Amino acid sequence: MSSTHTVPLKIYFGVFIALCVLTGVTVWTAKHDYGALNTPVALAIAGLKASLVILFFMHVKYSSKLTQLFAFAGFFWLVLLLVFTLQDFMTRGMLPTYVFKH
Amino acid sequence: MSSTVLSPSAKASPSSPEGERKTFLNADYGWKSWLFTVDHKRIAVLYLISIMVFFLIGGTFALLMRAELLTAKGDLFEAETYNKLFTMHGVVMIFFFLVPSIPAVLGNFLVPIMVGTKDLAFPKINLLSWYIYIVGGAATLFVAITGGIDTGWTFYAPYSSTYANTNVAGTAVAVFITGFSSILTGLNFIVTIHKMRAPGMTWFRMPLFLWAQYATSLIMVLGTPVLAITIVLLGLERVFHIGIFDPALGGDPVLFQHLFWFYSHPAVYIMILPGMGVISEIIACFSKKRMFGYHFIAFSSLAIAIFGFVVWGHHMFVSGQSAYASFVFSFLTMLVAIPSAVKVFNWTATLYKGQVSLETPMLYALGFIGLFTIGGLTGVFLAVMGLDRHVHDTYFVVAHFHYVMVGGMVMAFMGGMHFWWSKMFGRKYPEWIAQFSSVVVFVGFNFTFFPQFLLGYMGMPRRYHQYNAEFEVLNVLSSAGASILGTGFLMTICYFIWSLKWGQVAERNPWGAKGLEWERAPSPPPTFNFEDGERIVVTEDAYAYTHEEPHGGSLQEARK
Amino acid sequence: MSDHAHSTVGLAHHFDDLEQQKESGTLGMWAFLITEVLFFGGLFGAYAVYRSSYPDAFMRASAQLDVNLGGINTIVLIVSSLTMALAVYAAQKGSKGGIIAGLVGTWVFGAAFLVVKYFEYKHKWEHHLIPGPNFLFPDAHGVGQHGTPEQLYFALYFAMTGMHAFHMIIGLVILVWMMKKARRGDFTVHNYALVENFGLYWHFVDIVWIFLFPLLYLIGAHSGTPGAPH
């Protein structure tokens, strides 16, 4: 138990303010059109916010390597799911055997 | 057989006066002591009884199907009834027998003992998982009794979501519920293996059974939730018709297949990896040799678990999936053959110059190696897109996955049950009958499923209750084999039950095996697994069989 | 149930010490969160597929949502995450009052989120935006159409936010139970794993929303489409 790391209060409040600001930023950027970059920008901001929550609110920054690995594994497998599903939908009709129409 | 091993710790009470020693079986009496138990060994027994019930139900469906297929004409059942039979056979056997079989029975029993602790990390959650399983099982039986389901165990949309008139929603709920039991088991094993290992039990001293269970648990935890959400979407589609899998409303049924197979292909490895773990234990014990390539086998389990997640598209070569995706999935699928073959080669190498003895568990293990190799290699055939076009949805596929599921997992389960039976119940099964029935099972299995490779290659499609007359001879062979196979299983169940009362009382380590469960725990173990107050400290590698001197305990003594 | 000499209050029989028990609990919680990531992951996968298939329909449908309500709810949820983190902090310091205050704050803001969500759902209900036979999406002339691809957006909207809200409801129930335990003084400096692990769960639910907000509310914001007449 002695190994428990207490995160200073100012970090909690700092993260909180950062999350609020980033929420504002994501709304603000959404009102502008960056073409193909719209979604990547939105996801990057969301990813940053999520990282702040994971690292500080969920203490992963101060946790064991094992916990960090577990936290990473869930998202890694989510990426596997997304990438390998989308590699089908994104490449429909690229090769001439099958034509996908909406 | 049964060489008496003078293991360093075998001092205490292997056979104190009959029935006096407290074991987990007689620690407490009455139905409450079983239904509210948190002892992992009792929960394993509860699981054993329940999965055997489902095995018999699923087996009955199979025999009814084989009876129908005895003749080319569809003369025994209506087509609709036959559709329900193969669907219920698949659902029951996969979700209620194969997935929980080795993890929930042998895994529950052995994981805490093998890591050298008193119980799993979360005993109450372990019990909860059994109750969830029972609720899901009851729901499935309810569906079976009230009309069944005819979509095939894969529940492909849009047939399942829009057109089927059978109880898809009920089955979906049942499978959804059961998934949580699987998740909880996996979660418990992962935490137990990480956090509860006895002092000295390093990762590379763990028996390979634990590595296999760990890899399996990873799949359970990572894959099952996706099945759960897929079923939720299927249910929403079916009940509210939200269009998500309906092409008429812009949805794409192929998405269902992607999400479904994201779980269900790795689930195939849930249905074989634990079996591989059992085979490693048996091969080492009955060769009286250190495992050849221990590290390779351990890591190949993890490799199979991880690679197994990125090959699911090989089920979808003819679904309209893009050719590019099919190419990638085909390539990755062939890669999975590597870690599988690593295991087969290492088992075989372990046998080489070992002191091989052919008791029943070993017969099953050797059968496993041969049958799994056939099942695995035909899997490589099917990974080839061109051949898959030809044999997709034929009996070739049916034969392939039965060689893996039955020839692999069921053989391993049988081998494991024979291997650890005396440890679980303190009685020995009759060896000669067991050896005989293992041969019956092996012969029956091959008669049942080998003809199906030929049938499939000739073009007989799966899931039809009637077929062309030219396929009849091979189908008769297959049905005859199924009856032999069924007889073999029934014989096994009978002598197992018989042995509970009349079997010879087992000593602590009848096989002269290595491992905490044999050397440090009595048969059957007490509630907290080891003798009172005994602190398990592991000082040697797994399978520390001394080749020249199989009876001695001197080497490991010296090492201390 | 062997109680050894050193501090073993709250130690289950099969663990060696509280350290091992706590580490096991935390690891178990993380393993559970992995399952949660993948549970929601299936929905995100479906979203990715249909959004890439129907980008314009998704933008039109998204414009039906109220960005302000979504934004307010995002802040509300972040506040509740902060109070939860503060409850864990108080538990580490052994402050009973602090734990209770943190849990109550978390509950209040969590409930506020659900109230806002209720009004959003009600609005969708009134405007025939619930997927199913009664779904109607206004075309360019404001005439409601059945079975348009916008329905897929709303199917995913309700599946994702509904599943998220379901997790919050479960969280609120657990919070009530934890408040009772906190008042009884069950949590000590040595034994507060429950507070910590619930905190992980609550933060995870927050993370899901952090992704849902831009993906559901903001994808049409730049197009300036005012959406359908309200």
The C-alpha atoms of residue C215 and residue A46 are separated, in whole angstroms, by 9
Give the distance between the most distant pair of CA atoms in chain B: 75
Tell if the CB–CB gap between A50 and C93 is shorter than 8 Å.
no
d(C-alpha B477, C-alpha B485), whole Å: 12
Phi-psi region of B100 (alpha: psi -120 to 50; beta: other; left: phi over 0): alpha
Say if residue C152's pLDDT is above 60.
Answer: yes
Per domain, the residue ranges of chain A are 1-63, 64-102
Tell me how far apart the alpha carbons of residues C214 and B556 are, in angstroms, rounded to a whole number.
62
Q: In sequence order, what DSSP letters do the residues of B375-437 get, joined into one string? A: HHHHHHHHHSHHHHHHHTTBHHHHHHHHHHIIIIIIHHHHHHHHHHHHHHHSBPPPHHHHHHH
Find the range with the poorest average confidence among B48-52, C51-55, C96-100, C132-136. Answer: C132-136
Q: Is B393 left (phi over 0), alpha (psi -120 to 50) or beta?
A: left
φ and ψ at residue C9, rounded to 5 degrees: -65, 125
| B250: chain C residues, CB-CB within 8 Å | 50, 53-54, 147-149, 151-152
For residue A98, is pLDDT > 90? no
d(CA C3, CA C18): 12
Report if residue B549 sits inside a domain.
Answer: no
Torsion of CA B355, B359, B360, B364, to 10 degrees: 20
Residue contact C14–B228, C-beta within 8 A: no
Burial group, residue A90, by CB count within 10 angstroms (0-12, 13-18, 19+): middle
Tell if the CB–CB gap between B323 and A84 is shorter than 8 Å: no
Residue B9 belongs to some domain of the structure: no
The model's confidence at residue A96, banded by pLDDT at 50, 70 and 90, is low
Cα–Cα distance between B72 and B61 in angstroms, integer?
19
Q: Which residue has the higher pLDDT, C145 or C205?
A: C205
Q: Digits of tens for pLDDT over chain B (560 positions)?
A: 333 433 333 334 444 445 468 899 998 889 999 999 999 999 999 999 999 999 999 999 999 999 999 999 999 999 999 999 999 999 999 999 999 999 999 999 999 999 999 999 999 999 999 999 999 999 999 999 999 999 999 999 999 998 999 999 999 999 999 999 999 999 999 999 999 999 999 999 999 999 999 999 999 999 999 999 999 999 999 999 999 999 999 999 999 999 999 999 999 999 999 999 999 999 999 999 999 999 999 999 999 999 999 999 999 999 989 989 999 999 999 999 999 999 999 999 999 999 999 999 999 999 999 999 999 999 999 999 999 999 999 999 999 999 999 999 999 999 999 999 999 999 999 999 999 999 999 999 999 999 999 999 999 999 999 999 999 999 999 999 999 999 999 999 999 999 999 999 999 999 999 999 999 999 999 999 998 777 899 999 999 988 554 444 444 444 44
The pLDDT of residue A97: 54
B13 domain-assigned? no
At C225 the pLDDT is 52
Would you call B322 and A85 a contact, using CB atoms and an 8 Å cutoff? no
* CA–CA separation, B149 and B91 (whole Å): 10
Nearest chain C Cα distance for residue A15, angstroms: 9
Size of interface A-B (CB pairs under 8 A): 54
State the Cα–Cα distance between residues A70 and C30, nearest whole angstrom: 6
For residue C152, the chain B residue with the least C-alpha distance is B244
Residue C171 identity (one-letter amino acid): G
Cβ–Cβ below 8 Å for B229 and C36: no
**From B321, which residue of chain A is nearest by alpha-carbon distance?**
A88
Classify burial at B165, counting beta carbons within 10 Å of its beta carbon; exposed 0-12, middle 13-18, buried 19 or more.
exposed
Phi and psi for C224 in degrees, rounded to 5?
Answer: 70, 5
Number of neighbouring beta carbons within 10 Å of residue B252: 24
DSSP state of B38: -
Give me the residue label for tokens 């812009």. Answer: B250
Best residue in C30, C32, C34, C35 for a mutation probing chain B (most B CBs within 10 Å)? C35
Encoding tokens for residue A54?
A: 């994971």
Let me know if residue B21 belongs to a domain.
no
The answer to whether the CB of B261 falls within 8 A of the CB of B268 is no
Residue contact B226–A81, C-beta within 8 A: yes
CATH code, domain carrying B428 = 1.20.210.10
Domain that holds residue B194: 37-535
Q: Which residue has the tokens 């109220």?
A: C66
Superfamily of domain C18-223: Cytochrome c oxidase, subunit III, four-helix bundle (1.20.120.80)
Nearest residue on chain A to B256, alpha-carbon basis: A85
Instruction: Name every chain B residue with its beta carbon within 8 A of the beta carbon of A72.
Output: none
Q: Is C35 close to B240, i.e. CB distance below 8 A?
A: no
Q: A101 pLDDT band (50/70/90 cuts)?
A: low
**Nearest by CB: A94 against B324, B328, B329:** B324
Whole-number Å distance between alpha carbons of B323 and B319: 10
Per-residue pLDDT at C191? 87
CA distances from B412 to B272, B280, B438, C60, C193 (A): 9, 10, 12, 56, 39
Cβ–Cβ of C163/B232 closer than 8 Å?
A: yes
What is the model's pLDDT at position B20?
67
Taking CA atoms, what residue in B is nearest to C42?
Answer: B226
Task: Supply the pLDDT for residue C142.
Answer: 81
CA-CA distance, A58 to B468, in Å (whole number)?
Answer: 63
Closest alpha carbon within chain C to B527: C14
Q: Which single residue is written with the structure tokens 């995100």?
A: C44
Question: B408, B375 in Cβ contact below 8 A?
Answer: yes
Chain A partners within 8 Å of C93 (Cβ):
6
Chain C residues near residue A53 by CB distance under 8 angstroms:
81, 203, 206-207, 210
The dihedral through the CA atoms of B501, B504, B508, B514 has a sign that is negative
Tell me whether 0.90 is exceeded by the ipTM.
yes
Q: What is the DSSP string of B225-256?
A: HHHHHHHHHHHHHHHH--STT-GGGT--HHHH
Which residue among C44, C75, C218 sits closest to A82, beta carbon to beta carbon? C44
Alpha-helical (H) ranges within B241-322 are 253-270, 273-287, 294-307
Contact at 8 Å (CB) between B130 and C25?
no
C54-70 CB burial, b ≥16 within 10 A, e <16: beebbbbbbbbbbbeeb
Rounded Cα distance, B160 and B167, in Å: 9
Q: Specify if B26 maps to a domain.
A: no
**Structure token pair of residue A5:** 């790391």
Exposed, middle or buried: residue B248 (CB in 10 Å: 0-12, 13-18, 19+)? exposed
Q: Where are the domains of chain C?
A: 18-223
Find the residue in C nearest to A32 (Cα): C222
Residue linked to tokens 């699981």: B47
> B416 is written with which tokens?
């494991």
Contacts of A31 in chain C (CB under 8 A): 221-222
In Å, what is the CA distance from B449 to each residue of B89, B92, B483?
16, 19, 12
Q: Does the beta-carbon distance from C42 to A54 stay under 8 Å?
A: no
Domain count, chain B: 1
d(CA B342, CA B373): 11
Contact C219 A30 (CB under 8 A): yes
Q: Can you list the positions of beta strands (E) in C68-186? A: 137-138, 144-145
The answer to whether the beta carbons of residues B84 and B149 sit under 8 Å apart is yes
Q: Which chains touch A (3 or more CB pairs under 8 A)?
A: B, C
C-beta atoms of C79 and A1 within 8 A: no
